[in-house]
Amino acid sequence: MYLVHAHLELPPHEELPQDVRALVRSAIVPRDRVEHVALHTASPSELTLGFYLLAEGLDEAEERALRVCRRLLRDVRELAAARLTGVGVPLMPQAFAPRTGD
Q: For the chain, which residues make up each domain, given as ranges? A: 2-92
| Closest by CA position to 79, among listed 50, 52, 45, 51 | 45
pLDDT tens string for the chain (102 positions)?
999 999 999 998 888 888 888 999 998 999 999 999 999 988 888 999 999 999 999 999 999 999 999 999 999 999 999 999 999 998 766 655 666 665
Indicate the SS3 state at residue 57: coil
Q: What is the pLDDT of residue 90?
A: 86
Superfamily of domain 2-92: EIF_2_alpha (3.30.70.1130)
**Is 0.75 surpassed by the pTM of this model?**
yes
Separation CA 38–CA 89 (nearest Å)? 14
